[in-house]
């Protein structure tokens, strides 16, 4: 069973619901990056990128640390595991029910 409170799970999926934030998470999957490196592929201002990173930090998906004048971000994979676990539980719950419904509908044709 997923050990995440519903509000935390909502925050997690909300953070992942935006394409720029998903791209940031995908980029961080290869390792730590500076904010400027994360901002590079997007045509947006640094403050806009920082807002996306802040959402990811509040959700627990990303951790950032300032070293000197540069802020570095890294992925928190345990939070992604919580999302993966919730999806797996949902699939395990619904798959047999949907298969049963499909069999019932095929039999009634």
pLDDT tens by residue, 86-106: 889 989 999 998 999 999 899
Q: What gap in Å lies between CA 83 and CA 27, rounded to an integer?
A: 18
> Which one, of 46, 9, 7, 49, lies nearest residue 28 by Cα?
49
**Tokens 């699939």 map to which residue?**
91
pLDDT at 3 over 80: no
The proportion of the chain whose per-residue pLDDT surpasses 70, expressed as a percent, equals: 95
Segment 71-77 shows an average pLDDT of 95
Q: What are phi and psi of 74, to 5 degrees?
A: -140, 155
- Sketch out the chain's domains with CATH numbers: 6-107 (1.10.10.10)
Q: Which residues pair with 74 in a beta bridge?
A: 63
Is the whole-model pTM more than 0.75? yes
Residue 1's pLDDT is 47
């Amino acid at each position: 069973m997923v050990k995440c409170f519903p509000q935390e799970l909502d925050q997690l999926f909300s953070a992942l619901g935006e394409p720029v934030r998903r791209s940031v998470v995908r980029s961080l999957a290869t390792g730590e990056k500076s904010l400027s490196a994360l901002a590079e592929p997007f045509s947006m201002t640094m403050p806009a990128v920082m807002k996306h990173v802040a959402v990811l930090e509040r959700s627990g998906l990303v951790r950032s640390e300032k070293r000197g004048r540069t802020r570095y971000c890294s992925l928190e994979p345990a939070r992604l595991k919580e999302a993966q676990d919730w999806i797996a539980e949902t699939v395990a719950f619904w798959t047999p029910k949907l298969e049963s419904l499909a069999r019932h509908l095929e039999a009634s044709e």
